[in-house]
Structure 1
Amino acid sequence: MILHLTPFIMLDGNAKEAIDFYVQSLEAKVVFIQTFGESPETPEIPLPAHARDRIAHSVLKVGQTELMVSDISPGQSHPIGKQVTICITTSDKEQAVQLYESLRQDGQVSLELQETHFSPAYGMVIDKFGVIFQIFTERQR
């Protein structure tokens, strides 16, 4: 079983600029990058043409640490001061459920834990202290 805590920066249309900035200023290396246009389409939520180049997900390596950077989904808003979240990555779906249920106690659900095209169990909660956690389950290889 794997468990990682990773800082995750969520921006509103300028994630590519931020990635370039972190490559320069922090000597970060881009490990992975995917735009919304490269993600599978969801017919019930069409992707506007202007959002195709927005960053859906990226992973940077800064020294020995990973940093994730993305743009928020089109149509969502993300208040200033809440751009940095903590992404908890696990390889075990049952552990993801346990973490999600524990963190949502006296908190607020931002996104129900669910299967997505990139994870068998992904969700977001704001804990009772106002900290935003993303629960991400890796696909088994």
Structure 2
Amino acid sequence: MKILPYILFNGNCREAVSFYAEVFGSPNADVITNKEIVSNAESEIEKDDKQFVMHSKRIINEANVMFSDLVPGMAFIEGNNVTLIIISDEMEEIKDVYFKLKEGGTVDKELQKTFWSKAYCSMRDRFGIGWQMSFEKGVNG
């Protein structure tokens, strides 16, 4: 199991990712926008929101750091924009941690299949710490 920081931005993620790349001398990383993952026919995303970054990852001082813009419509609260993401290739490990962390917490997205993961969720634990979990077979090997 890996635990990585995940930083959320209020529409300026691309700028932040470029800034951190310059500051830390990290290599270029892919930036995936909302537009790239949602077809126009299926899109409920507003035209202006399609430029927002859905996901990016940089290696900073040998650590993976993940970035994205907030989902359109979510309130940006400075200081609450950093979560920890647990990545595991063990489904039972994901489920175990999910059920333990959600006790007394608030679940934003229940543990479920997405187009990028067989099991993904996001929540805040009872202490207000933001967590995401993603099952990614083969990431630890």
Whether the TM-score (by the shorter chain) exceeds 0.5 is: yes
Give the whole-Å Cα distance in 2 for the aligned partners of 1:34 and 1:85.
19
- Residue 23 of structure 1: aligned partner: 21
Unpaired runs of at least 5, structure 1: none
Q: Secondary structure of 1:5's partner?
A: strand
- Residue 91 of structure 2: aligned partner: 93
Counterpart AA for 2:99: E
Task: State TM-score, norm by structure 2.
Answer: 0.89
Q: What is the CA distance between 1:29 and its match in structure 2?
A: 2.1
- Residue 76 of structure 1: aligned partner: 74
Q: Name which of 122, 125, 130 aligns with 1:124.
A: 122
Give the whole-Å Cα distance in 2 for the aligned partners of 1:28 and 1:49.
31
Q: Is the 8 A contact 2:88 2:137 kept in 1?
A: no
Say how many residue pairs are matched.
Answer: 138
Coordinate RMSD, CA, aligned: 1.8
- Residue 132 of structure 2: aligned partner: 134
Find runs of 4+ consecutive structure 1 residues off by over 3 angstroms. 40-43
Counterpart AA for 1:5: I
Go from structure 1 to structure 2 and tell me whether the alpha carbon gap of 1:139 and 1:76 turns closer, same or farther (over 3 Å shift). Answer: farther
Counterpart AA for 1:57: H
- Residue 10 of structure 2: aligned partner: 12
Task: State TM-score, norm by structure 1.
Answer: 0.89
Counterpart AA for 1:46: E
Unpaired runs of at least 5, structure 2: none
**1:88-130: per-residue Cα shift (whole Å, max 9, x none)?**
1011222211111111111111211111111111111111111
Q: Secondary structure of 1:73's partner?
A: coil
Deviates more, 1:15-24 or 1:87-96: 87-96
- Residue 60 of structure 1: aligned partner: 58
